[in-house]
Amino acid sequence: MKSPLILFLFSCTLSIAQTPDEKEAVMKPALTFFEAMKKGDSALLHSTYIGSAPFHVIGKRKDGTPTHSEFPLSQFLKITTSPRANPMNEVIWDEKIFIDGNFGLVRADYAFYSGSKFSHCGTDVFSLFKDAQGSWKIFGLTYTLQNEGCNVPQSISKQFEQSKN
C-alpha cells in the first residue's frame, strides 16, 4: 500500500512544480534553438546550451537496421551556421513538458523542412537544467530521424506548400 501513496505524492509534487509560467520557461530554450537554426545564428544557438551538450540521433538504415549516432554541439553549430540557400525550418507539435526541480524535459514531434521542401520528421527530446540564475539551458538533445511514416499535421504541411507558390 505504500507504493501507490508514494506515487500519488510524487505526481502531486510534479503537478505543483509545472506551473504554466515554468512550463513556458522550460520550452523557451527549445523554441530559441529552432529560431537560431532557421537564422543560422551560432551565438543564439549556443546561448541555449550549457557545456558542450551532445546530440544523439536514432534512425534506421535503408535495410531497416537501427542506428545511433552521437556528435558534439560544435559539429552541429558548423552544420547550422554554414551558408545555405534555404533556411532550416523545424516545426514541432504535441509538446510534452516534464519538470522535476532543476531538471526539465521537453518531448515533441517535429517536421524538418529545407526552405519549403520536406526533408524528414521524428521526435525531439531536450534535456534541460535550471541554473542558479533561474535560466533553463539545454544539456542534451536526442532525436529520431525518419523519412517515411510521418504524420505531419495538415496545418504545418500546408504552411510550407503555400510558401512554394
| Maximal C-alpha separation, the chain | 62
pLDDT range class, residue 47, cuts 50, 70, 90: very high
Domains of the chain with bracketed CATH: 20-164 (3.10.450.50)
Sign of the alpha-carbon dihedral angle for 78, 59, 96, 132: negative
The yes-or-no verdict on residue 12 having pLDDT over 70 is no
Give the pLDDT of residue 34: 95
The yes-or-no verdict on residue 21 having pLDDT over 90 is yes
Residues in the chain, overall count: 165
136-144 and 55-60 strand pairing: parallel
pTM of the model: 0.84
Helix, strand, or coil (residue 51): coil
Helix, strand, or coil (residue 159): helix
